[in-house]
Copies of this chain bind each other. A is one copy, B any other.
Amino acid sequence: MAAIAAASRWCRLVLVLSAVGLGAVGAPQPPNIVLMLMDDMGWGDLGVNGEPSRETPNLDRMAAEGLLFPSFYSASPLCSPSRAALLTGRLPIRTGFYTTNGHARNAYTPQDIVGGIPASERLLPKLLKEAGYATKIVGKWHLGHRPQFHPLKHGFDEWFGSPNCHFGPYDNKAKPNIPVYRDWEMVGRFYEEFPINLKTGEANLTQIYLQEALDFIKRKHSRQRPFFLYWAVDATHAPVYASKPFLGTSRRGRYGDAVRELDDSVGQILQLLRGLHLADSTFVFFTSDNGAALVSAPRQAGSNSPFLCGKQTTFEGGVREPAIAWWPGHVPAGQVSHQAGSLMDLFTTSLSLAGLKPPSDREIDGLDLLPVLLRGQLIDRPIFYYRGNELMAATVGQFKAHFWTWTNSWEEFQQGIDFCPGQNVSHVMTHTQEDHTLLPLLFHLGRDPGERFPLSFTSAEYQDALQWIAPAVQKHRSTLVPGQPQLNVCNAAVMNWAPPGCEKLGKCLTPPESVPEKCPWPH
């Protein structure tokens, strides 16, 4: 049996490799890989997904030349866990990118987080680098900012960007401004060398990130090695920003200005690939880390329409992402795939493109999407939605089951913190944590993408759907081994006081006394 299974796997690999034009000996090199990850951009922000102002001509063209996934999911409704999942192919509950300080609480990597990506995890850049890829991350890392978590220790050859969000400005006394790194060393800080004008919304960061991407592609394309670019830009995360030529140009206000600049940048990157005749040798994927942050709406947030709620929640608005694959000559143009996709699939798919198999010594949640991309196959698979340490919901086929519901607490909600402004689905959007594990709330996402009409518990459809969902969830639960939680402990002493390179800039700050404490994760 084992031999048959191994042979079968080998045959599959050969089939996939031949399908993508890769052979064993004397084969053309595997394709370059560009993963474009937006920050808090919503499913509904793209013209091709129906945004009424239709201000993303380049992304719309990318979709017309490639494949659109309307049902593509993040691995978490929050940034850091989602990004950790992308780069490991594993649910945050496995890699430790969650907290046990509270039940079903979202946790991430602010400046005072002590944890980060464990050394035991095998990251995509490392695996690709070992396979000969030149690797670069541009933008937000978010997998921990202490020295051992540095992206260049996890397989990236180059980095230009920041370890945390561009919140601020801070006073550098109670809290330091976030550093911007070039490779190993800080080259400045947000609001200082890298200004963000909160009043006007002006910042040059997207232009800088764009130039970093273009420069990397130009430098690497003529080498014998393929390249991997992880372009993790953040202009659509509050405080949203755009450069001067884009400010005031959107019908949607400042958030739209940011989208327009990102769309323009995507267009420039694809145009460079075309110009360098790299289009058919470069796989590009565009997506976002979680749903639009409706808590910042309307001026600092995007659109999740027609989905329920936004970032921080496991309703569709928190986890359904814009997603486009582009690889002219390989991925057929103008396709739409109803494959249920996951950010974690980009791990496995990228490895597959490089002729690699995912690590076999651990559970990998990501699927290889190449059969979907290249041959239009549909693969049955469940999607699991966690919030912190809790499995909140799962999708099997078109049915989504909620085992727990929670938006945020009444206390927060009454303070005006609203993850679902303008929406109210009784007994579904709850401000107390509601346990539905015995009798899950079920929705048919085709008929009711907005999760407004739970199926009747007594209907035949409910019973049938549950018979599909229950075994998939049971299988998942029974084999799950949660990782050691990394996001439990905070300590002001670990903030970005004195990142490497600070001496050269005269920008080293003195950390306070070390006082580890439980991070407060309110939702």
What is A's interface to B at a CB cutoff of 8 Å?
Answer: 44, 47-54, 68, 70-71, 250-253, 255-256, 297-299, 303, 305-306, 308, 336, 338, 398, 421-425, 444-450, 452-453
Contacts and interface: CB of A to CB of B under 8 A. Distances in A.
B421 A422 contact: no
A308 B298 CA distance: 15
Contacts of A424: 422-424
B421 A423 contact: no
A53 B338 contact: yes
A243 B345 CA distance: 39
Given A44-B305, A256-B446, A422-B450, 19 more contacts: A44-B50, A44-B306, A47-B336, A49-B50, A50-B306, A52-B306, A53-B338, A54-B68, A250-B446, A253-B444, A253-B447, A255-B447, A256-B447, A297-B448, A297-B453, A298-B447, A303-B306, A306-B306, A422-B423
A240 to B, nearest CB: 12
A461 to B, nearest CB: 10
Main secondary structure of the interface of A (DSSP, over half): loop
Contacts of A450: 305, 422
Can you list the 10 inter-chain pairs with the closest CB atoms, starting with the nearest? A50-B50, A305-B306, A424-B424, A422-B452, A251-B446, A253-B447, A298-B448, A52-B70, A49-B50, A298-B453
29 contacts: A44-B306, A50-B50, A50-B51, A50-B305, A52-B71, A52-B449, A53-B446, A54-B70, A54-B336, A251-B338, A252-B447, A253-B444, A253-B446, A253-B447, A256-B446, A256-B447, A298-B447, A298-B448, A298-B453, A303-B306, A305-B449, A306-B306, A308-B422, A421-B452, A422-B423, A422-B425, A422-B452, A423-B423, A423-B424
B303 A447 contact: no
A398 B251 contact: yes
A308 B445 CA distance: 20
Contacts of A422: 308, 423-425, 450, 452
A469 to B, nearest CB: 18
Contacts of A453: 297-298, 421
A129 to B, nearest CB: 37
Contacts of A53: 70, 338, 446
A466 B189 CA distance: 42
A421 B424 CA distance: 8
Contacts of A336: 47, 54
Contacts of A299: 447
A112 B420 CA distance: 43
A287 B131 CA distance: 54
Contacts of A48: 50
A67 B306 CA distance: 23
Nearest to A44: B306
A250 B447 CA distance: 9
A299 B448 CA distance: 9
Nearest to A304: B306
A306 B51 CA distance: 8
Contacts of A251: 338, 398, 446
Nearest to A305: B306
Contact of A305 (B255, B305, B447): B305
A51 B448 CA distance: 11
Nearest to A250: B446
Contacts of A297: 448, 452-453
A452 B298 contact: yes
A5 to B, nearest CB: 34
Contacts of A47: 336
Contacts of A250: 446
Contacts of A444: 253, 298
A47 B306 CA distance: 13
Nearest to A316: B52
Contacts of A256: 446-447
Nearest to A336: B54
> Which has the most chain B C-beta neighbours within 10 Å: A256, A421, A446?
A446
Contacts of A44: 50, 305-306
A397 to B, nearest CB: 10
A52 to B, nearest CB: 4
Contacts of A52: 70-71, 306, 445, 449
A44 B423 CA distance: 17
A170 B121 CA distance: 68
A299 B444 CA distance: 11
A302 B253 CA distance: 29
A336 B52 CA distance: 10
A446 B446 CA distance: 27
A3 B422 CA distance: 54
Contacts of A445: 52
